[in-house]
Amino acid sequence: MIKSMSKAELSELRESLSRQYDSYKLKGLKLDMSRGKPCKEQLDISEDLLTVLKSNDDCFDSTGMDCRNYGILDGIPEAKKLFADLMEVSPEEVIIGGNSSLNMMYDTIARAMIFGVDGVSEPWGKQEKISFICPVPGYDRHFSICESLGINMINVPLSSEGPDMDMIEKLVSEDGSIKGMWSIPKYSNPTGITYSDEVVRRLAALKPKAKDFRIFWDNAYIVHDLREESDKLLNLLEEAKKYGNEDMVYVFMSTSKVSFPGAGVAAMAASTKNVDYIKKKMFSQTIGPDKLNQLRHVRYYKNVDGVREYMKKHAAIIKPRFDVVLEFLSKELGGLGIADWFEPNGGYFVSVNVENGCAKKVVSLLKEAGVTMTGAGATFPYGKDPDDRNIRIAPTYPPIEELRIAMELFCICAKLAAVEKYLELK
């Protein structure tokens, strides 16, 4: 425990850590652990997706519709079936989008800003104040959407079970400005936790003051297991039906980390009432997304089992990277009382809480030595981590040797920052 060291011990440790840090700095590293990007080997496994549609005759869907031509706003039937099976909903509850689920989320909120939502036609953009509940730490891109649209964000702490439900129940029942809630319910970005059944049930049963309150259920890591023992997430749309709350839920996912991040297929699921409403608004918005890419994905991955098979190939590539991260954390920071983290069964991140007040320092030390991390604070609304302690590690992209070096250095910096903090307190 660093906390209980004497001033002399701390000084000595600082000197040793500084020496180690300086020796890394001399190496002129250039490593990037900032974004949750699949690595080249992962992209390579879906090579044949590129050419699965080979000829003109390959371009017709199951109804005989020519996917090269105009038509179909909400997705070809076989794509709706595949995504329905993945999200455990019915095809009528599915809308297929372009290549970006983030874009579908943005559009869903932008539509609410302009038109309101089904059943509550007062546009959010005309209301004085719109707030979203943001479980923290969370996904910076969610928070960017809110910030860009001027939506007030309310932090709610996320434990290993999910967000603090007492707090959420109180907030949404009392504050009518709360129109939405972000959530990455499975292998949460960044903490890697999965919402417990109880949390999902309590979300399903919410009694929000605002009738146009919506849960944005970003199921980005729905099939992104790392290990044999995978987390099981309760189906929120199904649960919500038990309380007549099915219109309160928008579910999102994509194949960005199944096939290609830059050229995958995104989808959303919602009650048929919501789907009808959204489709009506979508009609003026676009002719419809790329159907050939939908067909490509269905022909290539075929069905849920096909997708799961590919996810095993992904896991085989990225699990060793997660192992490196977790091994270093445990070996170098375990038992020191200056950091905690969660060992996820899936997803794309390891989230580390370093000593309070030290995250910025750690990230800047790493930066100075040539290792780019997601900015400290990025996992919180407005980039403000109130305790300045959370750091998101994205292990998938860098080669494993680089990751090893980066993690060695990460642990040195985490210790160095903690030691300096305690020295100052002495």
Q: Given candidates 148, 160, 272, 330, which one binds its own copies under the rule CB under 8 A?
A: 148
User: Phi-psi category of 266—alpha, beta or left, where left has phi over 0 and alpha has psi -120 to 50?
Assistant: beta
Report the distance separating Cα 414 and Cα 355, nearest Å: 8
Is 50 among the residues that bind its own copies (CB under 8 A)? yes
Is 306 among the residues that bind its own copies (CB under 8 A)? no
- The nearest distance, CB 190 to its own copies, in angstroms, is 16
Region of 48-56, 199-207, 337-345, 403-411 interacting with its own copies (CB under 8 A): 48-56
Q: Given candidates 85, 147, 161, 169, which one binds its own copies under the rule CB under 8 A?
A: 147
Name residue 48's amino acid.
Answer: D
Q: Please give the full DSSP string across 370-405, using - where no structure is assigned.
A: TEEESPTTTTSGGG--TTS-EEEE--SSS-HHHHHH
Is 68 among the residues that bind its own copies (CB under 8 A)? yes
The helix (run of H) or strand (run of E) holding residue 149 is none
Is 279 among the residues that bind its own copies (CB under 8 A)? no
Report the distance separating Cα 142 and Cα 280, nearest Å: 25
Q: What angle do CA 388, 419, 28 make, to 5 degrees?
A: 80
CB-CB contact of 406 with 331 (8 Å):
no
Tokens linked to 190: 């960044």
Is 20 among the residues that bind its own copies (CB under 8 A)? no
Is 30 among the residues that bind its own copies (CB under 8 A)? no
Is 120 among the residues that bind its own copies (CB under 8 A)? no
- The nearest distance, CB 338 to its own copies, in angstroms, is 32
Site map 227..266 versus its own copies, x via CB under 8 A: -----------------------------x---xxxx---
CB-CB contact of 75 with 95 (8 Å):
yes
Region of 24-32, 63-71, 236-244, 380-388 interacting with its own copies (CB under 8 A): 63-71
- The nearest distance, CB 292 to its own copies, in angstroms, is 4
For residue 190, whether the previous peptide bond is cis, meaning omega lies within 30 degrees of 0, is yes
CB-CB contact of 1 with 336 (8 Å):
yes
Is 40 among the residues that bind its own copies (CB under 8 A)? yes
Tokens linked to 329: 């954390």
Beta bridge partners of 173: none
Q: Which is nearer to its own copies, 98 or 162 (CB)?
A: 98
Q: Given candidates 32, 85, 90, 106, which one binds its own copies under the rule CB under 8 A?
A: 106
Give contact residues for its own copies (rule: CB under 8 A). Answer: 35, 37-38, 40, 43-44, 47, 50-51, 53-56, 58-59, 66-72, 98-100, 102-103, 106, 110, 113-114, 123, 125-126, 141, 144-145, 147-149, 256, 260-263, 281, 283-293
